[in-house]
Amino acid sequence: MQAWVIGNWKQNPATSQDVNILLDDLLANVAKKDQTTSEVSNRCQLMVAPSFIHLAAVSACLKDSSILCAAQDISAHSPSTGAYTGDCSAQQVSDTGAKWTILGHSERRQYHQESQDCLLQKMTHAINQGIGVVFCIGETQTQYDVKETLQVVDEQLSVIKALLAQQPDSANLLAERLIVAYEPVWAIGTGKVPTVEEVSKTHQHIKQTVAGFADSLGSMTVLYGGSVNADNADSFAADAMIDGALVGGASLKADSFLAIANAFDRASL
Ligand code: PGA
């Protein structure tokens, strides 16, 4: 199965100059890697998600590279245009050349009160505009402590079920354009991580649940996110249920981001 390593840059870097330095570094190191290894086809797919202000520039810069570009969010209100101050639509994202968007990140759920209905709208707009979705789910520390992880992810995954109920013929599109990222909220940016066994069990549950929604979703890509770094990436990559990583902090340096990608490359050989 193709592995994916996705960098969520969040509200970083501060300047376009720093964005360019990061991109140059990434592209130079990816080119070096391609020259020195013959197993290019086994490579995990890389993707980066810059903030909206940098999206068009990053997308243009990566156009001829193997690295994909994603938005971090899209408007729930309209797939195209409208009087929605501060929003960017799926169509506008697509126009930059970006082919994906992250949706439902816990920071969006927490700071922007994104509801299940809102996420259903966003997912619908993305899929209908040809934008792939990296859909983030995961429990809080309190929910983890009382062992509610599986209940929480089931509830969050019901957005996919609702989309299929509304648009049954989107099942095949979703099979190609949906990735689930399991990110325990308590592991994001904290340096705390669940055990690989815990992640593996949760991923197995997610894969089974999504497969129950539609036959075409029988081999869903499920990434782990939350304090993934160059030191712990190998242990996650070694588990067959973990198809890659969604990386925050460690994606802001080409070295650590590519070290994580290398861990998934090695695991796929
Ligand atoms: P982190 O963030 O790698 O900094 O923990 C992950 C994420 O928020 O996607």
CB 150 within 8 Å of CB 202: yes
Q: Is 8 in the pocket of ligand 1 (CB under 6 A)?
A: yes
Q: Which atom of ligand 1 is nearest to the CA of 107?
A: 8
Produce one character per residue of 98-122: b if its CB has 16 or more CB atoms within 10 Å, e if not.
Answer: bbbbbbbbbbbbeeeebeeebbbbb
Q: Is 47 in the pocket of ligand 1 (CB under 6 A)?
A: no
β-strand partners of 103: 135
Select from 79, 63, 78, 62 the least CA-distant residue to 27: 62
**Could you give the residue numbers annotated as active site?**
105, 183
Cα–ligand 1 centroid distance for 227 (angstroms): 6
State the DSSP H helix or E strand holding residue 8, giving kind and residue range, or none if neither. Answer: strand 4-8
Q: Which residue lies with its CA nearest to atom 1 of ligand 1?
A: 248
CB 44 within 8 Å of CB 242: no
Question: Mean pLDDT, 10 residues at a time, over the chain (269 residues)?
Answer: 96 98 96 72 88 98 97 98 98 98 98 97 98 98 98 98 96 96 98 98 98 96 98 97 98 97 92
Would you state the pLDDT for residue 175?
95
Would you state the pLDDT for residue 222?
98
Q: Is 191 in the pocket of ligand 1 (CB under 6 A)?
A: no
Cα–ligand 1 centroid distance for 167 (angstroms): 32
Could you give the CA distance from residue 93 to residue 73 in angstroms, rounded to a whole number?
Answer: 9
Interhelix angle 196-213/149-166, rounded to 10 degrees, is: 30
Q: Is 104 in the pocket of ligand 1 (CB under 6 A)?
A: no
Q: Which residue lies with its CA nearest to atom 3 of ligand 1?
A: 248
Would you state the pLDDT for residue 269?
78
Could you give the CA distance from residue 237 to residue 246 in angstroms, rounded to a whole number?
Answer: 12
CB 190 within 8 Å of CB 209: no
CB 243 within 8 Å of CB 223: yes
Q: 160 CB contacts (<8 Å, ≥6 apart)?
A: 123, 135, 174, 178, 210, 213, 217
CATH 3.60.15.10 fits domain 3-267: no
Would you state the pLDDT for residue 204?
98
